[in-house]
Each structure stands twice: as structure tokens, then as C-alpha cells.
Amino acid sequence: MDVTTFWFLVVAFLWTGYFVLEGFDFGVGALLPLVARGEAERRQALATIGPVWDGNEVWLITAVGAMFAAFPAWYSGFLSGFYLPLVMVLAGLIVRGVALEWRGKVEGRERAVCDAGIVTGSVLTAFLWGGIFGHMLSGTLAGTLVGGALSLSLAMLHGGVFLALKTTGPLRARARRAALTAAAVAVPAAALALPGVPAAIGPAGAAGADWTAHPLVWAAAVAAMVALAAGVALVWRRREGWAFTATAGSITLLTATVFAVLWQAPLPGLTVAGAASGPYTLGLLTWIGLIALPFVLGYQAWTYWVFRKRVTA
């Protein structure tokens, strides 16, 4: 495998990590007013993501930083091309981050303002990411809206399952119901969006494109759907740990499908090779990344291990 291909996989891996990890903390934020009643439960819900959300967000910073270093033309074309949506993403992440950090240091009405910031920031950003990638692949308003609805509902499903996995008491029961409700949107949205993703490899909008040309991409899309269905079934049967694994797998496979399409053309008129940095830079970054990544994964995993217990109200 040449170093350009490898770095494309690294970028895809980082975005996948971002969507899987921040996906559930967006979901918890979006579900906050729906599942948590009263201050004690809100604190309980937020304590499940408190120690980890900031680390989850660094996956985005690293994904974008890796695009800048490895594919400068892709980075600059993507960011300047989706200018206003990304301004809104940044505004959402700013409001959400500050609200999450400040919430514990204020009281009363100010806490309600922080809650509003967490919910707005989570919903807005989760919707926009799906909308941005939906637009990138389809180039249509319908694709944008379906992508946005899919990513928001998937985040809420994923976050609901996470909450059910990490909490006890009435919050846990409500989180499970909320996850099932979110699934009622996520499953049809996925069924609508997923066939369109591999089809986007052809000319944009050529739905039903020949699947034999790219069988693996179609397989990934189908597998994403299967994982999603399995996640819903498992949360129905109260197997929260396995359900979370399945929703995480579904997001992973969905992101893999999207990036498999982007591999053909990360942006219209741009090839991966044409966007890439020189072999010297990529080679060096490879070595540094290979040495550093196990440590990063190790201590992030350790965080989840330290805070592995369920959070009670």
C-alpha cells in the first residue's frame, strides 16, 4: 500500500472515531430534555459523558489536522466549500463546549441556560455533519436533509443506548425508550440514504448504479444497515452492551461507506493523489503516527475503564 492510500485510511479512521465517539455524546446532549427529569437526573446524564466528551472532540481536531497535513487541497477545498455550514458547526461546538464546562460552576437559571446550550449545540452539530456529508455525496437538498436527519437520529439512538448502558434507575428506562423512538427515524432514514451512498460513486444522483463495479462498498452499506437493525433489536431485548457495540459498528460501517465513495473523488474535480502532500511529509507523519497512536488509544481506553461503572442519580 502506498503512503497516500495509507493516509487516506488514517483520515477516514479519524473521522470514524470522531463520529462513533462524539456521536454518543451528541446523542446524550440532544436527549437531555427528553430523558432527564430534574437536576439530579440531568447531572446523572451529563456525568456519563463528562470525563470523555472533550477527548472525543479531539478526534475531530486530529481528523482535520491530518487532512491539512496529508491532503492540503482537500482540507482547504472542503473547508472553504462548506463555509457557512461549518461556521454553524463551529458556533454549535463553541456553545456546547462552554455550556458543558461551565454548567457545574453555576446555579439555578444559569444552569438552565447551559442546558439549552448543550441541547442546541448537540442537535445543531449532529444534524449539520450529516447534512454536510449528505450534500457532499448527493449535491442535492434532499440528500442534505436525509443525511442530516440520519446523523441526528443515529446520534440520538447511539446516545440513548449509551445512556441506558451507563445509568441506573428511571433515567435508564427512559433512555432505552428514547433510543427505540430515535430508531423509528434512524432506520427509515438509513434505508433511504444508504443505497444512495455507494451509488454516488457514479455520476451524482445516479441511484441504482451497478453494484458489481464496487461490491465491497455495497457490502459495507448493507452491513451498516444490518448492524443498525441488530442494535435496535438488542436494545429492545435490553442487551445494552451489545446494542452499543452494534450502533457503534453501524456508524463505523456507514462512515466507511462514505469514505469509500470519497476515495474516488474527495471533492468534485479532485483526486486523492492530486490533493496529497509530498512523500517526505507523509512518510514522517506515518512513523510519528504509528508510534503515538497506540498510546493515545491506550490512555483513552483507560479513561473509559476508570469510569466504567454505571452512574446513579
Partner 1 sequence: MDALDLARWQFGVTTVYHFLFVPLTIGLGVFVAGLQTAWHRTGKAHYLRLTKFFGKLFLINFAMGVVTGLVQEFQFGMNWSAYSTFVGDVFGAPLALEALLAFFLESTFLGLWIFGWDRLPKRIHLACLWAAVIGSNLSAYFILAANAWMKHPVGYEVVDGKARMTDLWAVLTNSTALAQVPHVVAAAFIVAGGFVIAVSGYRILRERRMITDGDVTVPMARPARGRGPADPMMWRTSLRAALVMTAIAGAVVAGTGDMSGQLLRDQQPMKLAAAEGLRHDQKGAPASIVPGVEVPYVLSLLAAHDPNAEVQGIEDIQRRYAERYGEADYRPNVPVVFWSFRVMIGFGLATVGLSLLGLWLTRRRRGTPDWFARACLLALPLPTLAIVAGWLLSEIGRQPWTVQGELLTAASVSPSVSVTEVAISLALFTALYGALAVAEGWLLARHVKAGPEPVVPAPRVPDDAEPARLAPTLMY
* Nearest to partner 1 of 250, 277 (CB atom): 277
* Nearest to partner 1 of 208, 278 (CB atom): 278
Most distant CA atoms of the chain, gap in Å: 59
Distance CA 10, CA 207 (A): 29
* Nearest to partner 1 of 135, 214 (CB atom): 135
Cell of 283: 512518510
* Nearest to partner 1 of 94, 191 (CB atom): 94
- Least distance between partner 1 and beta carbon 123 (Å): 17
Write down the residue that cell numbers 443515529 correspond to.
Answer: 154
- Least distance between partner 1 and beta carbon 282 (Å): 9
Q: How many CB atoms lie within 10 A of CB 179?
A: 31
- Least distance between partner 1 and beta carbon 16 (Å): 16
Cβ 66 vs Cβ 14: under 8 Å: yes
- Least distance between partner 1 and beta carbon 113 (Å): 9
Cell of 138: 448527493
* Nearest to partner 1 of 40, 191 (CB atom): 40
Distance CA 6, CA 11 (A): 9
Sites of contact with partner 1 (CB under 8 A): 43, 46-47, 50-55, 57-58, 60-62, 64-66, 68-73, 75-81, 83-84, 86-87, 90-91, 93-95, 97-98, 100-106, 277-278, 280-281, 284-285, 288-289, 292-293, 296, 299-300, 303, 306-307, 309, 311-312
Cell of 126: 449532529
3-state SS assignment for residue 24: helix
